[in-house]
Amino acid sequence: MIKDPMTIEELRALPASVPLALACRALNIGTTKGYGLARRGEFPVVLRPVGNAKYRAPKSAILEYLGVSETAPSKAAAA
C-alpha cells in the first residue's frame, strides 16, 4: 500500500541519504515494486548498497529526479 505522496517541504527536509522504503515513498512507488526495481538495477534514482541487501538513496538524486530544488525559492524571486 502506497502512503500519501510527500510534500515538497517533506522532500526538502529529508536527510542526505534515505533508506529505500523512504525513497519509494518520496517517488510514490510501492515498496515491493521498489525493492524489485532495486534488485534488477532499474530503480529510477541511483542507490548505494549498504550491508546485505540494503539500499540507500541520496536526497539530491531524489530531488533532481522530481525536479525539486534543494531550497525554496526566495520571496523576492517570486515577486
What CATH number does residue 50 fall under? 1.10.10
Considering its fold, how many domains does the chain have in total? 1
Bridge partners for 55 per DSSP:
49
Residue range(s) defining the domain that contains residue 42? 8-71
Over 90: is that where the pLDDT of 75 sits? no
pLDDT in tens, 26-55: 999 999 999 999 999 999 999 998 877 689
| Domain annotation covers residue 1 | no
- Give the pLDDT confidence score for residue 26 in this predicted structure: 96
Distance, in Å, from the CA atom of 17 to the CA atom of 40, rounded to the nearest integer, reads 21
Q: Which residues contact 63 (CB under 8 A, 6 or more apart)?
A: 11, 12, 69, 70
Q: What is the mean pLDDT of residues 51-63?
A: 90
Is the C-alpha dihedral spanning 37, 9, 16, 69 positive or negative?
positive
| Domain annotation covers residue 56 | yes
This prediction has a pTM of 0.83
Q: What is the mean pLDDT of residues 12-25?
A: 95
